Structure 1
Amino acid sequence: MPPRRSHKKSRAGCRRCKVRKIKVARLDLQCDEVHPRCGNCVKHGVPCDFEAPEVADELAPVATPVSVSTVPSTPIPMQPPIPVAAGRLSPGLEPITPALLSQPTNLTRPNTSNQADRLMELRLMHQYTNVTAKTLLNNSPEVDEVWQRVVPNMAFEGRQYLADAILSVAALHLRSENPQDKALVRASHAYTASTLAEYCASLEKGINAENAEALFLTATLIAFQSVASRIFAKDDTDADPDDPSSRYALPLPWFHAFQGVKTIVASSWLWIRSSSIVKAVIDSQPGLQLNLNPSGVGSFFGHLLEGLDEELATEDPHMMQTTGRSYTHAVCVLNWAHRSTFPAASLSFPSTVARRYVELVEAKRPRALAILACFFALLKRMDDVWWLTDVSRREVMGLVGLFESGSKWWRHLEWPIRIALWDGTTIPPDIWGHEFDAAAPAAPQGFVSHIELMADLMGQAPEQLASAFNPIGDPPPPLTAESPD
């Protein structure tokens, strides 16, 4: 028998590594005890109690909030999202669930007799119905009614995943106002994990007429969860480029969350297309009205496509067309959102860009990152929304930090930097680059009409509609085109 490989025992490792028992599972992955953030925590993108002692409190075994259900206490296994059963969804579709900021340990459903948990649940439900539901970018009394009344009532009918999603979003909202409240930290983690577990289990059973509405609403709330969790990430604008622990993490949860909603819509459209509830929520976003000439005279972001031919010349021939279309479509969406009088139009970007564009962001292509910086700059007009507070500045400056000094892309980053650092949400037209028409409608033709048009063109076949939404390939074609300048 070969001699046992020698190794240094980790006696002063961080709490997270000890909880995960890294040194027992693999000796080469034991805590390296590097301060202020150990290598394993850097690798997994999670807080380390070396730099944030309060993390140790979060990792301590705690009772999680009580469930709406009165089912006896049973453990919930922590496992990756469960893929949809074959044949239950349209071919080629799988639910895209956002990664958690961090997951609670020892997640169990406590007994409903626990008074502290019951009070927390009542507190969260009160917060949601009276405050949080009004902050989900509603633009009409009809949408207010959906989020404040219809959604909770639907959850009370026994849809555990929707109930937990409601409580999770409310916990995040309260946590944003009380960041030092450990009970809220644990509640937000626990309800987020429970939401994903129940949601994926329901998807595995299949989407049908009875659960399609609830699954769509849950997917939407999961998107809010994922985006809102970013506001608790460490501010990296002052990060030391030589310190690996201070690296900026790409905002990929934005794409995963919103593309997950798109996947659910594509998979369940035959059932939810006649739902007044779903129609109200989807139509709260304006329909895309894209100019098909992204480099025309009236294109504000056309400069982001400069040198595209040279970049494509070095691309894999099989990916050349897809890459070019992905960039072009992303710039078209930016141009449209920039001119829209409806600030929330910018949120269409992460849900409509192509999967290829997301891959380019993951690869840290300079052009993709510059486009992404412009998207986050557009969110500056919604800086007063709690789950978007300071997001524009944090994300833009984080992305800017990924560019090397002297990069040719710096001139393309001047506008997003200027907007992200602007004081306030009212930006003068000469700074924004466009003067809005006060008489123009805030929210033009709704998004449902575009989905209906695509469904009609595709013969209402779910798999073809899913292809049109395109979760894995090229961007969907713009459905309404303005005349090129």
Structure 2
Amino acid sequence: MSRPVSQPNPASPLLSDFSGTLSSALSTDQLVHSDSAWRQRLLYITNQRNAPPIPISMNTPPERLIEFRLFHHYVQMTQKGTINSLGQVASPKSSKNPWSDWILRLAIESPNLMDALLGFAAFHLRHLNASDKEITEAAHRYMMRAIVEHADQVRKGITAENAEVVFATSTFIAFHVASERLTPDEKDGSMMHWFQPWDGIRALLVACWEHIKVDEIRRLIQYEHALEIVPMTDAAWVKPTPIFDFLIEDLNPDSVDGETMHAYTTAVYYLNKIVTMPLARHVLKFSGMVSKRFLELVLKKEPRAMCIVGYHLILVKQVDSIVWLQHSAKRDFAILLEHLPEEWKPKMALAVEGFRGALIFDDTQIMKEDDDSSKEHSPFHQREEMGTNSRASWVER
């Protein structure tokens, strides 16, 4: 039952004093209007007191709340540039991120891609807080659902309707496979999980390319591809810096075939390029840039190929903006060393120092694309003049 609205007592001294003060400042019409407004305000307050209480909870399902949290985290990652450093680079001439904008537009219309996005964000959160069981369960749930649906779409065939979603989903799955080491048995020392996902992306890109509708995304992919091309000529020997040349300095061209020689020299070329132009995204792109022959050598666990992979892992480990992959790199580096023949371990000395805390790659000095002025301030600028005999000096404490 609602309480009656109490009326002001005209005899109240407080009201009398208030009315007298008000009368001295207001005309009769103003006073009547003020009194009416006061009564309306009093009635409003009384009605508010009698209104039903505001619910403490909106009864939103817990899974929906997690989805909101994960989606918000993904957007934050995008705004902070975390996604850019994962190989999904913004336009060199713009502060915008067309890749992530494209992903978001597709995801709000595709449950499968949205699952992959949420799973990716959840695994990133899990690396930041491993004790959060709710996030861990969500990470596996969303990513597994995305993988199953993605495999079904690929099996049914690429069409104009699903091509963009299939390709976009594959990028999230690739990062997941690389970071979580989804292999049957890690005891065999295989490092193929760092390479196979990117090989799959390249195959899907060929199938999806003609159906990618957004011109900016097409230009972006073409731009990235142009950076990866190294001709199988003497030009491949024109390296930006010789830091990693010691990995192939004892490689005799007469003892290996031309394809194998090219596989090793181009892989080392890319490592040198990453250090000379230390853009964080290039660190991860290494896995997708090496040749198929190099992948065969990694699959066979050829010692020289494994050493090259080891130095790739040290670069991954030392890039702060991809902290979610640093644990994976450290774990796999230890596995790699365990399976490396003893006679090859001296070549890994600098990488071992890096994992112990020495600095090989300074992520605080990452340069912006197309900004030549920043190169002279790079900690690697002077190293170009050092020559191969000074490679010990580039490990700084």
Equivalent in 179, 184, 188 of residue 139 of structure 2: 188
Query: How far apart are the structure 1 equivalents of 2:376 and 2:240?
Result: 24
Query: How far apart are the structure 1 equivalents of 2:218 and 2:172?
Result: 13
- Deviation sequence 1:345-389 (CA, Å, 0-9, x none): 222221122233222222221111111112122324413423223
Query: How far apart are the structure 1 equivalents of 2:375 and 2:240?
Result: 22
Query: How far apart are the structure 2 equivalents of 1:119 and 1:383?
Result: 29
Query: How far apart are the structure 1 equivalents of 2:276 and 2:160?
Result: 38
Q: Does 1:360 align with 2:297?
A: yes
Q: Does 1:152 align with 2:104?
A: yes
**Structure 1, unaligned runs of 5 or more:** 1-112, 234-244, 314-319, 429-435, 443-485
Matches within 5 A, 1:134-145: 134-136=81-83, 137=85, 140=90, 145=97
Q: Does 1:417 align with 2:352?
A: yes
Query: How far apart are the structure 2 equivalents of 1:259 and 1:389?
Result: 22
Q: Does 1:129 align with 2:64?
A: no
Q: Does 1:288 align with 2:240?
A: no
- Deviation sequence 1:196-225 (CA, Å, 0-9, x none): 111122222322333322222111111222
Change over 3 Å in CA distance of 1:385–1:207 after alignment to 2: same
Q: Does 1:350 align with 2:287?
A: yes
| Alpha-carbon contact 2:171-2:201 (below 8 Å) kept | yes
Equivalent in 208, 229, 241 of residue 268 of structure 1: 208
| Alpha-carbon contact 2:128-2:324 (below 8 Å) kept | no
> Which of structures 1 and 2 has the bigger CA Rg?
2
| Amino acid of the structure 2 residue aligned with 1:420 | F
Q: TM-score, normalised by structure 2?
A: 0.64
Q: Please, what is the CA RMSD of the aligned residues? A: 3.8
Query: How far apart are the structure 1 equivalents of 2:241 and 2:63?
Result: 56
Query: How far apart are the structure 1 equivalents of 2:319 and 2:336?
Result: 19
| Alpha-carbon contact 2:310-2:351 (below 8 Å) kept | yes
- Deviation sequence 1:138-168 (CA, Å, 0-9, x none): 65476854455432231222x2321111111
Equivalent residue for 1:328? 265
- Deviation sequence 1:237-275 (CA, Å, 0-9, x none): xxxxxxxx9947433222111112211222222333863
Q: Does 1:303 align with 2:246?
A: yes
Matches within 5 A, 1:10-49: none
Q: Could you say which structure has the greater relative contact order, defined with CA pairs below 8 angstroms and 6 or more residues apart?
A: 1
Equivalent residue for 2:166? 215
Matches within 5 A, 1:37-436: 115-131=61-77, 134-136=81-83, 137=85, 140=90, 145-146=97-98, 148-157=100-109, 159-230=110-181, 247=187, 249-272=189-212, 275-280=215-220, 283=223, 287-288=227-228, 290=230, 292-294=235-237, 299-309=242-252, 312=255, 320-405=257-342, 407=343, 409-423=344-358, 427=362
| Amino acid of the structure 2 residue aligned with 1:205 | K
- Deviation sequence 1:82-102 (CA, Å, 0-9, x none): xxxxxxxxxxxxxxxxxxxxx
| Alpha-carbon contact 2:280-2:319 (below 8 Å) kept | yes
Query: How far apart are the structure 1 equivalents of 2:197 and 2:317?
Result: 20
Residue aligned with 1:179, SS? coil
Q: TM-score, normalised by structure 1?
A: 0.54
| Alpha-carbon contact 2:120-2:176 (below 8 Å) kept | yes
Query: How far apart are the structure 2 equivalents of 1:296 and 1:275?
Result: 33
Change over 3 Å in CA distance of 1:297–1:210 after alignment to 2: closer
Equivalent residue for 2:385? none
| Alpha-carbon contact 2:159-2:211 (below 8 Å) kept | yes
Q: When you count helix as a share of all residues, which structure comes out higher? A: 2
| Alpha-carbon contact 1:165-1:222 (below 8 Å) kept | yes
| Amino acid of the structure 2 residue aligned with 1:218 | T
| Alpha-carbon contact 1:382-1:388 (below 8 Å) kept | no
Query: How far apart are the structure 1 equivalents of 2:361 and 2:240?
Result: 26
Change over 3 Å in CA distance of 1:321–1:246 after alignment to 2: closer
Change over 3 Å in CA distance of 1:258–1:413 after alignment to 2: same
Query: How far apart are the structure 2 equivalents of 1:341 and 1:441?
Result: 13
Query: How far apart are the structure 2 equivalents of 1:118 and 1:426?
Result: 40
Count matched residues. Answer: 303
| Alpha-carbon contact 1:173-1:387 (below 8 Å) kept | yes
- Deviation sequence 1:278-310 (CA, Å, 0-9, x none): 434664788137573449895333332244448
Query: How far apart are the structure 1 equivalents of 2:287 and 2:186?
Result: 25
Residue aligned with 2:131, SS? coil
**Structure 2, unaligned runs of 5 or more:** 1-58, 364-370, 378-397
